[in-house]
Structure 1
């Protein structure tokens, strides 16, 4: 867990970045994810990662990672919510604690999926 302040709360300054993972399970979903990532990249200052066609890391299905700054969250995540179509999107913050980031620091757009969290050691 990220460091807490004297009042037991965590300051948002620990958030260095956000990731939005576009999830897909077939060729149609992959094509939809490519279109969504491209449209997102024309509207926002993001980095589009590789399009994985199999589970990678904690992600149980094919996915593509979109990386963006915390300051973009308020515009980018609602845009993804409105434009994701049938894709499920896993959004998480990036601090120094991967387990925290992928559990307590996460939200889902669409359906949630069980992540392979055992790849993370408990950093806290």
Structure 2
């Protein structure tokens, strides 16, 4: 049986950076803030947090923004790795099986994600 698209209540994008790419991450963040005022920009995490293997910040957005925000990320990420995943209430599946990567695919720590 197929999951219906309306099972998606929102989307998250995780923008990964390191010391050498933090300026690029800041430029992308500013661009998102200007172009998508309804998106919610999470705080900077300068160390790995949760399942994420390197520094990152999160962008939370409604399904209606997907057709414009995801292409914006693709065109403006300056080589940064970006994980985009739906929010369905199934964190492990959302991060590991329903996710899309731009750039490098980073290994997530699945052990910290609830089923």
TM-score (norm 2): 0.94
**Residues 1:55 and 2:48 aligned together:** yes
Cα displacement (A) at 1:41: 1.3
Cα displacement (A) at 1:47: 0.7
Structure with more strand by fraction: 1
Cα displacement (A) at 1:34: 1.5
Equivalent in the alignment of 2:32:
40
CA distance in 2, matches of 1:121, 1:80: 27
Q: Which runs of 4+ in 1 moved over 2 A?
A: none
Equivalent in the alignment of 2:11:
18
**Residues 1:89 and 2:82 aligned together:** yes
Q: May I ask how many residue pairs the two structures share in their alignment?
A: 114
Gaps of 5+ in 1: 1-7
Equivalent in the alignment of 1:119:
112
Equivalent in the alignment of 1:101:
94
TM-score (norm 1): 0.88
CA distance in 2, matches of 1:121, 1:85: 32
CA distance in 1, matches of 2:46, 2:22: 8
